[in-house]
Amino acid sequence: MKISNPSGSGSGSAIPEVVILRLPLYVRILTQLRDEGIEVVSSRELGERLSVTPAQIRKDLSYFGRFGKQGRGYNVNYLVGELRRVLGLDRDWNAAVVGVGRLGRAIISYPGFSPEGFKVVAAFDADPSQVGRQLDVVTVRPMEDLAKAIAEQKIDIGIVAVPAPQAQPVINKLVECGIKAILNYAPVAPQVPGDVRVRNIDPVLGLQTMTYHLKMMKERKGK
């Protein structure tokens, strides 16, 4: 399958990527509030829960319509429903895991995906000794089946759990098969066409963005 828009930045919409990145956190907090029985929330309260200014909250939400009334706050139940719809979370999405080592197996049996509508429906590995293995509800298939499975099983998301040196070739293969959304667990910064989204799940990168602050604090304390 050809990449339809390799040069574009992807969405074609006017909503800044940084806003899109915050919305799932809004959904999470609003869902917590709803589950606590809270019916109305102000941008100030939402902002406090998210460590974001109320003005930022109002600006972010204004991209998607008029959710709140001045001085009356947001209807929690309505807002969570609308944001889920905006984000495409009002439906299920099928995912394929590539790589069934320890990490891949942990991902396949991770209990957090399914309740959120993300279904791991296929698993692949380049190692013939892994092929045919039953993991949770999926049977490991050879890499040669990737294109066929993605088309037949309506798979939109690729989850990459291979070692670092194999990550870019696997990602290239997923992109060739038409995958536009990749969750990458390999510790690499993959390169993809402009219409493909990648999210890297990388605990070391997370740690490395905090040591700067730890170092600065220690220097200020004179240690």
Half-sphere exposure of residue 184, counting CA atoms within 13 Å on the CB side? 29
> ∠ CA(13), CA(5), CA(178), 5° rounding?
110
Q: How far apart are CA 135 and CA 123, in angstroms?
A: 9
Q: How far is the CB of 77 from a second copy (least distance, A)?
A: 19
21 interacts with a second copy by CB under 8 A: yes
Position among 7, 12, 65, 129 found at the interface with a second copy (CB under 8 A): 12
Q: How far is the CB of 142 from a second copy (least distance, A)?
A: 25
Positive or negative, the Cα torsion across 146, 148, 151, 152? Answer: negative
Q: How far is the CB of 218 from a second copy (least distance, A)?
A: 8
**Residue 159: beta bridge partners?**
97, 183
Interface with a second copy: number of residues (CB under 8 A):
62
Site residues for a second copy, 98-127, by CB under 8 A, read 102-103, 106-107, 110, 112-113, 116, 118
Nearer to a second copy, 131 or 135 (CB): 135
37 interacts with a second copy by CB under 8 A: no
Strands (E), the chain: 40-41, 68-69, 73-75, 93-98, 118-125, 134-135, 138-142, 155-160, 181-184, 197-200
Residues found near a second copy in the complex (CB under 8 A):
10-13, 20-21, 23-25, 27-29, 32, 48-51, 86-89, 93, 95, 102-103, 106-107, 110, 112-113, 116, 118, 156-157, 180-181, 183, 187-189, 191, 195, 197, 199-201, 203-217, 220
